[in-house]
Structure 1
Amino acid sequence: MFNLANSLTLGRVLTVPVIVLLMYFPNHFTAFLAAVLFFIASVTDVMDGIVARRQNQVTNLGKFLDPLADKLLIGSVLIMLVELGWVPAWITIIIICRELAVTGLRAIAMEKGLVLAADKFGKMKTVCQSFALGPLLLNYQYFGVDWHRVGTYILYVALFLTVFSGANYMYNLYKIWLSNDQ
């Protein structure tokens, strides 16, 4: 049950409270540490899937934990960024509502025996969100770069992908429902 892949995913979940705690005391040092931890957690998101497939460690626990870990990490960081005034609340609301809507639709689809795997747009969304949140966590200038501005630009791209991938997921699920009703 707790193979390497699942342990990496669980490790990602356990970084969330540490990152949130660091964000409660925002300064150059804690912001840098939070960004480093977020980066490490994001890398484990890629690694757990690779390990699970290569070592044949795909489990039901992993299928449950992996998307949950992503949502906990991204959602918690976004909420803290709103709390700090570093990200507008409306962006966080849209991103979290999309995640809840897709998760709810997945549950309904599974109940009907339908499975719609994450597509390339959903994966691009997750990567783009991670690339946005890293610089936003840094927030301060390091090496003459305004990381907050960089993260904000990437976040707007991530927001577009979030809405687009959510709409695409709903459309594809609708097509599957229609084809199964006939």
Structure 2
Amino acid sequence: MNTPNKLTLARVVMTPFFLGFLLCDLPHHWLIATAIFLLASVTDAIDGKLARKNNQVTTFGQLLDPLADKMLTTAALLAFIHLDLCGVWPVFLILTREFAVTSMRLIAAAQGVVIPANIFGKIKTATQMVFTGMILFWGELVETFGFLKLNFAQVSNGMIWITAVLAVVSGGIYICKAKKVIDFTM
């Protein structure tokens, strides 16, 4: 197994630890969850670039990388619902977009078609990662120092709604492009 695939697999392994620390009641569990999330996000940024740079792109990596991303982001979003930091609807929109785009990518790949990510998708992903990191770190500040607690849930929910809007826009653009190049009659 090459290094990029090991990094992707590490992200899969980190996800249950991230979720476990986020939802447990240990001292500084928010900070530990934040650190795990940031480490997982770094592996996400590195694995693909490393694979392309070193000519180590594999089918396994191409399949596992988006799955690892979905596992990590889904875990965070569902935990945020559980912790009353956001509503169900924005998470539903984000996850529907993720699974629709992933499905389109799989169909396209089966037909030998590559549909590159659009700028809105990249902005959505960056925004989602930054906002998730901010929410996690804010949770640590609230728990450790007790300040900013009054606005924590409202601001967190707002961040997730912004991500949901970006998800719908980027997903719509992606699906429109996919409809032009994918044969759905197969």
8 A Cα contact 2:77 2:91, kept in partner: yes
1:151: Cα distance to partner? Answer: 4.6
Identify which of structures 1 and 2 has the higher relative contact order when contacts are C-alpha pairs closer than 8 Å and 6+ apart. Answer: 2
Q: Could you say which residue in structure 1 is the equivalent of 2:176?
A: 171
Q: Does 1:55 align with 2:60?
A: no
Q: Which moved more, 1:115-124 or 1:28-37?
A: 115-124
Find the counterpart in structure 2 of residue 32 from structure 1: 31
1:141 is aligned with what amino acid? Answer: L
> Helix, strand or coil: the match of 2:28?
helix
1:136-172, Cα deviation, whole Å (9 max, x unpaired): 2232436866794665444333222111110000111
Contact 2:91–2:160, Cα closer than 8 Å, also in 1: no
Query: 1 CA distance for matches of 2:26 and 2:156?
Result: 17
Aligned-residue identity in percent: 35
Aligned letter for 1:44? T
Determine if contact 1:8/1:48 at 8 Å carries over to the other structure: yes
- Write the mapping of 1:7-18 to structure 2, written as runs, cut at 5 A: 7-18=6-17
My pick for the range that moved more, 143-152 or 81-90, is 143-152
Residue 100 of structure 2 aligns with an amino acid whose one-letter code is: A
Matched, 1:114 2:113: yes
**Cα distance in 1 for residues equivalent to 2:121 and 2:63:** 17
Aligned to 1:162: 167
Question: CA 1:155/1:28 → structure 2, altered by over 3 Å: closer, same or farther?
Answer: farther
With normalisation by structure 1, the TM-score equals 0.86
Q: After the TM superposition, which of the residue ranges 116-125 and 13-22 deviates more from structure 2?
A: 116-125
Do the aligned residues in 2 keep the contact of 1:28 with 1:140 (CA within 8 Å)? no
User: Could you say what secondary structure the match of 2:24 adopts?
Assistant: coil
Report the Cα distance in structure 1 between the residues aligned to 2:26 and 2:100, rounded to whole angstroms. Answer: 35
What is the CA distance between 1:107 and its match in structure 2?
A: 2.7
- 1:137 matched to 2:136: yes
Extract unaligned runs of 5+ from structure 2.
Answer: none
Distance 1:84 1:26 in 2: 12
Contact 1:131–1:154 (8 Å) recurs in 2 = no
Give the structure-2-normalised TM-score. 0.84
Distance apart, 1:103 and its partner CA: 1.8
Q: How many Å separate the matches in 2 of 1:119 and 1:112?
A: 20
Residue aligned with 1:114, SS: coil
For 1:95 and 1:137, the matched residues in 2 are separated by: 18
Per-residue CA shift, 1:108-160, capped at 9, x if unaligned?
A: 33344433122222222111111111122232436866794665444333222
Q: How far off its partner does 1:7 sit?
A: 0.8
CA RMSD of aligned residues (A): 2.5
Amino acid paired to 1:164:
V
Of 98-107 and 126-135, deviating more is 98-107
Aligned to 2:2: 3
